[in-house]
Structure 1
Amino acid sequence: MSDTGFASFTTTIDKTNHILHEIETAFGWPRDRRNQSYAALRGVLHALRDRLTVEEAAQLGAQLPMLVRGIYYEGWDPSRVPLKMHRDEFLQRVRKEFPYDVVGGVESVVRTVLDVLRQHVTDGEWADVKAAMPKDLATTLP
């Protein structure tokens, strides 16, 4: 637990660390690979955000912990979305932000991060996100 002296900040740091730890656990990474779990989370969040409409991106963002929401919106230009990405383009987009080699490649990174994120979003919102994806990409979402 990180004590920032401000309850909302402490809570969001703890929630973010929990999400990163879930990614690390799924891959069997030790905590000293936090840069990799962060890059995985960031890359998937950015690709997902840019594939969604502005309205859907905002609805998903509203459900994320405050610090994760900041990562999600970092560098976002709503005037340029949605980007029409199919599965391979989505994976390439994540790969640009995730320069590490992992077992199963970038697809396993995407699946793992989406599995973790799924646990932090309501069923209705996740159904909306899935419905906004092209069929070949929707099959990647849990």
Structure 2
Amino acid sequence: MFAVAAVSGSRIAVSSSFSPQTRPAQRRGALHVVAADKRTRPAVADVASFQKGGASDTGGSSVQIALLTRRIEGLTTHLLKNKKDYSTQRGLKKLLGQRSRLQNYLKKKNFEEYSQTMDALGLKR
């Protein structure tokens, strides 16, 4: 997408490789629905199955990923009905980013637990 300039004498010829056909078809902030259909992946398992230290374990990475997945599914169903709720779209994007960071952390720290969590939640690795 850089302009190339050729100088010959007093004339300057500018050519650009940018054309309207090369632009992406979607808007910059377009929303991509995570799970439009509940049948695309299993329902979020009970959070207790992710708690390693008993009922008091609420801060483990796998527990947080499970809780965020439950919230993301709820917001996704809400946004399917209310397509112009932009504040909820922003909140959903923030939750997706937070879950992604937790997934990356868990992947680096304990890959076995990461793979079990992703399989139990039905998320891509």
TM-score by length of 2: 0.30
Higher alpha-carbon Rg: 2
Q: Which has the higher helix share?
A: 1
Q: Which has the higher contact order (CA 8 A, sep 6+)?
A: 1
More strand by share: 2
